[in-house]
Structure 1
Amino acid sequence: MSTSSSNPVSNTAPPKAPARRQSGDRHVYNGPGMIATGEATALLPTETTPPIKVFGTAAIRETFDDLCLQQAVNSRLAPGVTDLILNPDAHCGYGAPVGSVLVSPTHIYPGPVGVDIKCSMSLLQLDLPADAVDDRKVRRELISAICRRTPTGAGKGQRSVAQSRHVNRTLGKQLVLEGASKDVCMALGIPPNWAFRCEDSFHVGHDGTATALEARLETLLATREMTNFSEKMQQLGSYGGGNHFGECEVVEVGDNERARSVAETFGLHDGNVAFLSHCGSRGFGHILASGQFKHLQTKFDRWGIPLPAGDRQLVYAPLGSDEANNYLDDMSLGANFATVNHLLINALVLEAFQEVIPGVKGDLVYFISHNIARREIVNDRPAWVHRKGATRAMPAGHHSLEGTPFANSGHPILLPGNPRDGSAVMVADPGAEASCFSVNHGAGRVLGRRHAKRVLDQSTVDTELESNDILSNCRRYPIDEAPAAYKDFNEVLHSVKSAGLASEVARLKARFVIKDASKADD
């Protein structure tokens, strides 16, 4: 690829990856094994590059299946890649493993961002004591009030619920260009100051300007793939399906001095109710990402460019090329949608709580992504850090936090676990530099969705939640989202702590969960 997409050039074939073969529907990894370097650290060698850094205890490393390891090696050997990190939640994904970090100063990779551009976590802290949601009837009323405002399900949008915010085409164009600007927030009833509690409240075009982003959007709107733009804007303020959720929590701040001090900086209140959300850029982001995969794969086929390890989902574009510029613009458009989507969900959730319990107040603790590529400084030079199912982890004193509320503490890290075992708020330690200032994005799957449906028992899943007094909007909890489908969250957190990447500030205990009820009730 060149800076002019009409002038193809040949690329040098990437280094050969270790052999890969299939046994039935499983890949068998034949490369070198992992070498332990500490209680929760290891190295995964490759044939031609410095090794992959692995974070996870021996028990966690056993959860990395062969395909996950093969994808990690394939990604490390891809052109322009200088670092590859495997976090404790790592499992096989599309091209690159979910739970990995890929660094390149010269290339951009759509695969290590994924199809849900800027899938993220956000946490809303309420001034409501835990006992206010003890009554199951109150929780049922809260679930209903939230579901009247925030639809769930892959194709669901504002028209499927009664009290959503309407987003027309004009506002839709504005929000994907501006992100959480003051005007966009005011138009949607989002407190504008929440933008200061975002990892990135807005994204600009490939050249650092809004003009480039606007030009790209106009080009996209003229294409056949984006004829449903207005329809996709109707999904703003919704959760979607899969592993996306909203969860009512009770905050339990750690009992050490540092945890209490950091919690105060974050705005966390021990013993109070909070609300944790997980979602991304919905159908709009999926269209953008899918279009980029298709476009780049067509270019690779047309020009005969070798694919890394023959994997079509590891297509890439050299920085400065038209292809890279278009991808970065599309990623920014999707990321701006995801940002506003989260902030609107939080505003609607707060509104729902106020309907059921008048007078409740709430503030955003933080909004942070785990599917994004960001330009950062790695090894003293600019590079694109691709986090796929990985969370940024900048400790106190990091230059990127200068001028933020978290300069002296490190920023909040929001890690979802499962309703049974809780979720966590963490803060980075100086040792996070070893992982390119990244940690896992949650527990990580240990059972694939089909496998979970085959081996898990629905009544056991539902009984387990009931015994923990956790309610849901689903008549039957989605079995492929059951706690047993995920890794041991406490062992995942132990890995992060033992590796010196981050420390726990608070644990979040679930009281009710909002999931995609459409499939759960099939």
Structure 2
Amino acid sequence: MNTTITGKTLIEIGYTDGKILGLALDIMKANFADTEEKELLALFKKIKDYPESFLDDEILHTLATEIIEASNAPKDETIALLNDAKPYSIFGADYIEEGARSQMDIAMKLPVTAGGALMPDAHQGYGLPIGGVLATRNAIIPYGVGVDIGCRMALSIFDIPEKHYFGKDAMYKRELIAFTKFGAGQNFNGNEKADHEVLENEAFNSTHFLKNLHGKAWAQLGTSGGGNHFVEWGIIDFAARDEVLNIDKGRYLALLTHSGSRGFGATIAGHYTKLAKEICKLPKEAANLAYLDLNSAEGQEYWIAMNLAGDYASACHEVIHKRLTKAIGAKVLARVENHHNFAWKEMLDGEEVIVHRKGATPAGKGVMGIIPGSMTAPGFLVRGKGEMSSINSASHGAGRQMSRTKALQSITKSDMKAILKDHNVTLIGAGLDEAPMAYKDIHKVMAAQTALVDVIATFEPKMVRMADDGSRED
């Protein structure tokens, strides 16, 4: 072989360092020792540029095949973001931290983004900020939906006047403890297990992955997670009769719950986020916004799994509400439920888009929803106005103003006991990271979204149960 030809020489004519370069050098050494350098380089450049012409060559077909396969291999090319973020609406800008805005700015640079909005309870999350609404074209973002898929609020209003609640605290506390379970990994065993038609949903058989999660879903059906999930008794105040719900002016006992799809949803979120990141290569700052094309097999699988998780989360609330309603012997006058951490197919500016609401309440015209405050601050039963600048959305709560770490460092147990006493609220469980002081002022949040929702009634928490250790779902 002509010793002046090296790997560097081949790189100069178009080869790249790696397996193909080494194979080319080996073939040269074994078969072309007496060929002149100029002629040899011309031959190997021709193989590099037109490998299909050498597939029938007894010596060079191996190299030609490797070159063709390498050129056809999937490229790990990073998908470029837009140079400038598309404009989006911000509600309650004075209460939103810079981290949430920065995350939303990045989301608005995705090539699939069609529109967005930031709710007044927004704060920094993972990928899309919590309180972020993002509309995309034919693309679904697992972390735009969130880990706790289909997390929701559910409210049952009973035929029990306010005065019949007070003085019976012991009974309500007993039933609340008896029929709820909280925290990561909590489940029911044996005869405790609930039954619900969601367990017969054919979607469980759509993939091997979902089929393997059926047992976990059944065991955790009717349980609640950790973090800010709760089940609470309270008094709901209708200042005027509501014709839609057919409820007269007055103050009634109500049950309010907040939780999602438990370990079932979290496992789906983890699996498809990992898959999305492998398929959709985005710049580092946008990596957690990796998306799946809804026309792809993976995108369709996630869409089916997400909707199943949403149905499952709803079933969990239904089990809790039925058990507690029966326990106190009440009649339900009305039930309202809404979810967040989800994606919907909706119309925006004349085109169908996928609307991700990560910690945002659907607020289309006439759509009912519940926006909670904290364990001592009121929540609100609302009706959406259908405001397009918010993409038919509103806040999903007060939103955190203090991180969990900061709350644990700055709030004492005595602080917590004092504020609970001031508001006459009984608390079962919860860590200091869920203290009322860790949340924004719900009244300011509501004032920032008067264009988005009408308030129908006000809910006052009276007895709150949360995870004993303040644990979060995983």
Fold equivalence (TM over 0.5): yes
- Residue identity opposite 2:243 in structure 1: E
Alpha-carbon distance change, 274 to 220 in structure 1, aligned in 2, over 3 angstroms? closer
Give 1:247's match in structure 2, choosing from 227, 232, 247.
232
Shift of 1:298: 2.9
Matches within 5 A, 1:87-126: 87-126=119-158
Alignment partner of 2:290 out of 299, 309, 315: 315
Matched, 1:157 2:180: no
> Aligned to 1:327, what secondary structure does the other structure show?
helix
Structure possessing the higher radius of gyration over alpha carbons:
2
Partner of 2:38: none
- 1:140 alignment counterpart: 170
3-state DSSP of counterpart to 2:237: strand
Q: Do residues 494 (structure 1) and 473 (structure 2) align?
A: no
**Which of 198, 220, 243 is residue 210 of structure 2 equivalent to?**
220
Alignment match, 2:49: none
What residue number does 1:184 align with?
A: none
Could you say which structure has the greater relative contact order, defined with CA pairs below 8 angstroms and 6 or more residues apart? 1
CA contact (8 A) 1:157 1:236 kept: yes
Q: Deviations over 1:161-219 (max 9, x none)?
A: x984444xxx6xx51563xxxxxxxxxxxxxxxxxxxxxxxxxxxxxxx6xx3552445
Match of 1:231 in 2: 216
Structure 1: which 5+ runs fail to align?
Answer: 1-5, 17-46, 179-209, 255-259, 355-359, 396-409
Give the Å deviation of 1:99. 0.3
What is the CA–CA distance in structure 2 between the aligned matches of 1:11 and 1:103, rounded to whole Å?
24
Query: Which shifted more, 100-109 or 511-520?
Result: 511-520
Answer yes or no: is the 8 Å Cα contact 2:431–2:469 preserved in 1: no
Letter in 2 for 1:463: A
Aligned partner of 2:88: which letter? I
Question: Whole-Å Cα distance in 2 between the matches of residues 415 and 229 of structure 1?
Answer: 31
Say whether 1:438 aligns with 2:432.
Answer: no
- Choose the corresponding residue for 1:67, options 99, 110, 113: 99
* Match of residue 271 from structure 1: 251
Work out whether residues 188 and 219 of structure 2, in 8 Å CA contact, stay in contact via their aligned partners in 1: yes
The separation in 2 between residues aligned to 1:483 and 1:133, in whole angstroms, is: 23
Letter in 2 for 1:488: D
Q: Do the aligned partners of residues 62 and 287 (structure 1) sit closer, same or farther apart at CA in structure 2, a change above 3 Å counting? A: same
Do 1:74 and 1:309's aligned partners in 2 also have CA atoms closer than 8 Å? no
| 1:275–1:151 CA distance, 2 compared to 1 (3 A) | same
Q: Given the alignment, which residue of 344, 361, 377 partners 1:421?
A: 377
The aligned counterpart of 2:321 is: 346
Alignment length, in residue pairs? Answer: 399
Give the C-alpha shift of residue 141 in structure 1. Answer: 2.0
Out of 53, 72, 81, which is 2:89 matched to? 53
Query: How much does 1:348 deviate?
Result: 1.3
1:280 is aligned, of 260, 273, 294, to 260
Contact map agreement 2:157 2:332 (CA 8 A) in 1: yes
TM-score by length of 1: 0.72
- CA deviations over 1:324-352 (Å, ceiling 9, x no partner): 11211111221121111111111112122
Q: Cα 1:72–1:427, aligned 2, differ >3 Å: closer, same or farther? A: same
- How far did residue 65 of structure 1 move? 2.1
User: Against the structure 1 CA distance between its residues 518 and 353, is the aligned structure 2 distance closer, same or farther, given a 3 Å change threshold?
Assistant: farther
Is the partner of 1:414 in helix, strand or coil? strand
Contact 2:294/2:300 (CA < 8 Å) preserved in 1?
A: yes
Question: Structure 1 pair 49/453, CA: closer, same or farther in 2 (3 Å)?
Answer: closer
C-alpha displacement at 1:519, in angstroms? 4.2
d(CA) in 2 for partners of 1:104, 1:65: 24
Q: Is 1:375 the counterpart of 2:345 in the alignment?
A: yes
Change (3 A) 1:49 1:240: closer
Contact 1:71 1:95 in 2 (8 A): yes
CA distance in 2 between partners of 1:65 and 1:156 (Å):
34
Deviation per CA, 1:300-358: give whole Å up to 9, x if none.
4xxxx3x155333111012201221121111122112111111111111212222xxxx
Residue number in structure 2 paired with 1:14: 80
Residue 7 of structure 1: how far off its partner (Å): 8.0
What CA deviation, in whole Å up to 9, does each residue of 1:10-33 have, x standing for no partner? 7673335xxxxxxxxxxxxxxxxx
Measured in 2, the distance between the counterparts of 1:473 and 1:392 equals 30
2: CA distance between counterparts of 1:413 and 1:486?
A: 20
Q: Structure 1 pair 285/449, CA: closer, same or farther in 2 (3 Å)? A: same
Q: Unpaired segments of 5 or more residues in structure 2?
A: 1-71
What CA RMSD, in Å, does the superposition of the two structures yield over aligned residues?
2.2
